[in-house]
């Protein structure tokens, strides 16, 4: 027997944005965990990557993407870009009435729960590491945690370009992992939404004793809780829809994005 639709079912979509296609790993978890909700994804591919940019510039781009999603009438926004969330989440939440969720705190929370020796590594872009967002989030949860941040400027562009399993990608991953192995961390946060695509490679390089934290699943869980708490969930007796917008080449987004989403991408609108 199908569930009766709540009288206050909110039919608006949930907005998700990222600098490129990496945030599709977050969207994938949301589609799996919230299959009844509609989603709108915006990839700011014309300005990818955000990682090497100054924080003030990342913040400006994050505001532009958020405004575009607000104009599309979404009910909640997920900042699925670690660089954007690290640089601008607090400012976005202060400036917009639409609920806005980032990927940093869910990942930090999962890492704080997973670590045994309280030694946590963070692999991320330069912008995310410079912002100290993960370091601050982790130590707000447990002041005794030792945090080892490592910037990996080469990884996201290689993965975004489809060069996922090449020797160059492995070399960049090995370079990022080396200081974390030397530090003896037992937990590593994948602080960029592109990195889950190479998690098998990272697992091999780090070894089975190190827990890898992908914030996508934690973020999806948090979004579900917020929707319920605010009474803005969609009716659960339906299958949701998902749409895509890109600021750059739509065909390239569709081709590369399908690997990240692991679901069909039928149409991409230019924005």
Instruction: Write down the pLDDT at residue 217.
Output: 87
CATH architecture of 105-215: 3-Layer(aba) Sandwich (3.40)
Q: Look at the block and give the residue holding tokens 């589609």.
A: 31
Q: Write the DSSP string, 157-223.
A: HHHHTT--SSHHHHHHHHHHHHHHHHHT-SEEEEESTTGGGGHHHHHHHH-TTSEEEEHHHHHHHHH
CA dihedral (239, 245, 249, 251) in degrees, to 10, reads: 20
30 as an active site residue: the answer is: no
**8 A C-beta contact, residue 37 and residue 227:** yes
Q: What kind and span of H or E run contains 121?
A: strand 119-124
Q: Is 70 helix (H, G, I), strand (E, B) or coil?
A: helix
**8 A C-beta contact, residue 126 and residue 52:** yes
Nearest 5 degrees, angle CA 53-CA 59-CA 60?
95
The C-alpha atoms of residue 245 and residue 83 are separated, in whole angstroms, by 20
Instruction: Write down the pLDDT at residue 7.
Output: 55
Instruction: Write down the pLDDT at residue 238.
Output: 95
Question: How far, in whole angstroms, is CA 83 from its chain's centroid?
Answer: 9
Instruction: Write down the pLDDT at residue 166.
Output: 93
Catalytic, out of 21, 34, 68, 81: 81
- Give 10-residue mean pLDDT values along the chain (271 residues): 57 97 96 97 97 95 98 98 96 98 96 97 96 97 98 94 90 97 98 94 97 93 96 95 97 92 93 91
Q: For 221, phi and psi rounded to 5 degrees?
A: -65, -45
pTM above 0.95? no
State which fold the 14-102+217-270 domain adopts.
Rossmann fold (3.40.50)
Q: State both tokens at 45.
A: 């591919």
Instruction: Write down the pLDDT at residue 5.
Output: 43
Instruction: Write down the pLDDT at residue 1.
Output: 37
Catalytic, out of 192, 198, 202, 216: 192
Domain ranges of the chain: 14-102+217-270, 105-215
Instruction: Write down the pLDDT at residue 154.
Output: 94
14-102+217-270 and 105-215: same fold?
yes
């Amino acid at each position: 027997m199908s569930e009766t639709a709540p009288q206050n079912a909110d039919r608006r979509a949930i907005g998700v944005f990222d600098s490129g296609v990496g945030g599709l790993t977050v969207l994938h978890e949301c589609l799996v965990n919230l299959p009844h909700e509609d989603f709108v994804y915006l990839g700011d591919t014309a300005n990818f990557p955000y990682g090497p940019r100054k924080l003030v510039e990342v913040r400006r781009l994050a505001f532009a993407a958020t405004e575009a999603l607000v104009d599309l009438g979404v009910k909640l926004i997920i900042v699925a870009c670690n660089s954007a969330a690290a640089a601008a989440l607090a400012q976005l939440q202060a400036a917009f009435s639409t609920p806005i969720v980032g990927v940093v705190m869910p990942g930090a929370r999962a890492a704080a729960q997973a670590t045994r020796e309280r030694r946590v590594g963070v692999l991320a872009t330069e912008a995310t590491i410079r912002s100290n967002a993960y370091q601050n989030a982790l130590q707000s949860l447990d002041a005794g945690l030792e945090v080892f941040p490592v910037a990996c400027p080469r990884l996201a562009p290689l993965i975004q370009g489809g060069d996922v399993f090449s020797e160059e990608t492995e070399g960049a991953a090995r370079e990022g992992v080396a200081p974390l192995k030397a530090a003896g961390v037992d937990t590593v946060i994948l602080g960029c939404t592109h990195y889950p695509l190479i998690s098998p490679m990272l697992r091999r390089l780090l070894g089975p004793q190190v827990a890898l934290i992908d914030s996508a699943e934690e973020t999806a869980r948090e979004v579900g809780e917020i929707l319920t708490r605010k009474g803005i969930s969609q009716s659960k007796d339906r299958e949701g829809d998902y749409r895509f917008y890109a600021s750059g080449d739509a065909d390239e987004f569709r081709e590369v994005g399908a690997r990240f989403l692991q679901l069909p991408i039928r149409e991409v609108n230019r924005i």
